[in-house]
Amino acid sequence: MFELEGAGRYRLERAPLAQALAQVRFPLIARLQTLPGVAPVQDRLRDLFPYMEQQRVQEFALQVGPGGPSAPEVETSVTWEFTDDDGRLLVLAAGSATLSVGEQYDGIEDFSGRFREVLDALAAVEGLRRCDRLGVRYLSLAEPPPGDDDAWARWFRPELTGWIASGVVAADATVTGSITQTQLACPPSNDLGACPGDVGALVRHGFAGPSAAIPGVPPIVTTNAAYLLDLDLFVAVPQRFDIDGLLAQFLALHGQIDRFFKWTLTDEGREYFGYEDVE
């Protein structure tokens, strides 16, 4: 997807990662809306996620006809939130499972291992035959240190930060928000050859001011100003629910995210975030 060299193995001592997300979508399973239906999944994942809470989400549907709008129809869906003592989160719905890890992130091996256990549980308990969508998303928020509000403009490449970091903005003007979104698609070739169809990507980046609402799992509201880098890659092609195949695609998508993030950093950015190659 990107004309960039492979990132190799590297780590950041002070990574700006806010959330790492992995999601699988599958045909609806009605019983996952009920306690008896979700209980076998909970039992299977108890060692990984010892706690579970039920969340009810109300959705309103408004129909407008010749006589004007009708009374809104209210539908309630149920999701289950599994957590551990360190704050890792799994959100399970009737047609999806989303793993979310924040400051507890401990490398791709740990993250992919946890995602495999989620896939194993769903396959064993529900006998899933099809995956409709597989996605990997890394959301970073880089907060400048006190007294250096423009540090983000030196941490990331000018191709990314754009005109708001070029000196065009007057000294007495303040950038309160500027987010750019780019959508990409590419065929499953080269490093993405394990994918069964086209790979899509959403790349969001820019400056987010205080109290900015950032979609996530859970949603994020910024406390301080930060530079946002949100990399979301996915395969939205129905395929067999083969765990080894899904994990291979997961790692391929992650590899693209990894090399793009490495490219975004300037030398000063690498130094600030504590970049080091790993043998």
- The pLDDT score that the predictor gives to residue 8 is 85
Domain borders along the chain are 10-277
* DSSP summary character for residue 116: H
Cα 167 to chain center, whole Å? 32
Q: Check whether 221 has a pLDDT greater than 60.
A: yes
Q: For residue range 187-211, what is the model confidence (pLDDT) as tens digits? A: 999 999 999 999 999 999 999 999 9
171 pLDDT band, cuts 50/70/90, is confident
Q: Kindly report each contact of residues 141-145 with a partner whose C-beta sits within 8 Å and lies 24 or more positions away, as own/partner.
A: 141/16, 141/18, 141/208, 141/214, 141/220, 141/222, 141/226, 141/227, 141/228, 142/16, 142/226, 142/227, 142/229, 142/273, 143/16, 143/224, 143/225, 143/226, 144/225, 144/226, 144/227
Q: Check whether 59 has a pLDDT greater than 80.
A: no
Measuring CA to CA, how many Å separate 119 from each of 131, 173, 218, 254?
10, 49, 21, 17
Q: Check whether 186 has a pLDDT greater than 80.
A: yes
